[in-house]
Every structure is written in structure tokens, then in C-alpha cells.
Amino acid sequence: MLALVSGILMFGLTACFDIVEEVHLERNGSGKYAINVDMSSMFKDPFMKGMMAESLQQEGGDADMEKDTVIYFKDDPKLADLDAKDRKLLEKLTMHMTMSESQEKMLINLEFPFSNVSEIAELTKALKNIDTGGGMGGFMGGGMMTPGGEAAFELSKGKLKRLPMPAAEKLEEDENMAFMKMFLESAKYKTVYHLPGKVKKASFSNAEVDGSTVTVTHSLLELMEGKAKLDGEIKFKQ
């Protein structure tokens, strides 16, 4: 199933889609990290819909586009190949995929509960070490899901800080890259921070503050090219 979802995600690279990253922080420092990908527009494109049907047939033997599936990474036998630390992190990760041709809906949601925000960076690194046959680990850990390859945070008294990402590798300019840029031109990467207290100040560019919530929106392509930055900090009341 992971390989199937990976194939659909890769098809999604050539379709209009948006990614919403969420950080839910509790007062004790624990919380939930989530990635939500909406690729519903794929159903509006006959070519992309045909590609999805073909992928389903290859992976599952049928082209049924009415699926509601929850994937628990702890059930993946390939976790046994990882070290104990990576395995413990990935065992907490779940993925919910909703695909409905009748409703023209294609949603993928990943959720990771953490006891400390530092575990988020450890998760993205651990994902690079798992091979699901379809490249899912590398895709989530170092590609579209987390542009720059890592989502790293630090939490101190009344302050959540997002650390700078590694410098983006220069995208090689060729026909394939030009094609990808054309389709990613309108794609957005939004991060929503849910804080345990009212926000006093947010230093992110493009930040919108609403009570205890901060929303930051960027062009996905600009993030991939290193033209936009995700780092910054939020000060909030405890």
C-alpha cells in the first residue's frame, strides 16, 4: 500500500496540489506534527486520472478509485531493518489516504505524535532510511513533504523556534525541470502553528496571527529553490 501511495504522490508532482504542514503544541511540550496533501484536482485532469487508474491496476490488480485507508507504519516489516531509535519514531507515524472519484477527492494525511519538538527533525531523518519500494521514505523525508529535507524546531519558555533548513541544492535546469516548474508554479506550502497560549509575536515572513494560531504561506517552488525560508520564531503567552 505504501508503494501505491508513493506512486500516486509522484503522479501528483505533475498536478496542481497544495501541502499544509501543522504543528500542534501542548503546554508540556508534547504535541502532534501533521502533513496534509490535497491532490483532488487530479480527478479533473483525464490524463492524470488515467495514470492513477493504471497505477492502481499495477499495484493492486483493480482500478477502484473509492478508497479510505489508514496505514500504520508500525506494521511495515521493513522497519525491522532500521536501528531501534528510527524504528521507535516511525512506529508512531500513521497515514490516512482518502480517494474518491465520485467526490473528486484525493487527500493524504500524515500524523506523528511527539513528546518533544526535537523528535520532528529525527522523524524526517528516519524517513530517509526506510525503503518502501516506491521511494516513499525519501519522498517524505527529503523532498516535497518537507522542502529542504528537514523540519527542525526548538522550544524554550514561551518561544517556539524553527531552525533554518540546509541550503537548497540548485535545481538542474533541463526540460524535465522546466516541465515540473510549470506545474508547481501555483502550488502552495502552508504551515499552521497551533500554540498553547496567545501569540505575542511571530517573526516569520508572510505570517498571519489569529489568537493562538500562526499561519505562514509560501510558494512551494520558491521553497525548493531556496528563494523562500521557513525559519523564524513565535513568542506566546504561557
Give the position of cell 473528486: 104
Q: Look up residue 232 and give its three cell numbers.
A: 523564524
Q: What per-residue confidence (pLDDT) applies to 120? A: 93
- 126, with CB counted inside 10 A (0-12, 13-18, 19+), is buried
Q: What per-residue confidence (pLDDT) applies to 227? A: 84
- Domain of residue 17, residue span: 2-236
Q: pLDDT averaged over consecutive 10-residue blocks of the chain (238 residues)?
A: 53 64 95 90 72 68 76 86 90 90 86 95 82 46 54 94 75 60 75 97 94 94 83 94
| Cβ-proximal residues to 77 (8 Å cutoff; 6+ apart), any chain | none
Total tally of structural domains belonging to the chain = 1
Give the position of cell 504535541: 31
Task: Using alpha carbons, select from 75, 58, 80 the residue that is nearest to residue 129.
Answer: 80
Segment 124-174, tens digit of pLDDT: 888 877 654 444 444 444 444 566 567 899 999 999 999 987 665 555 665
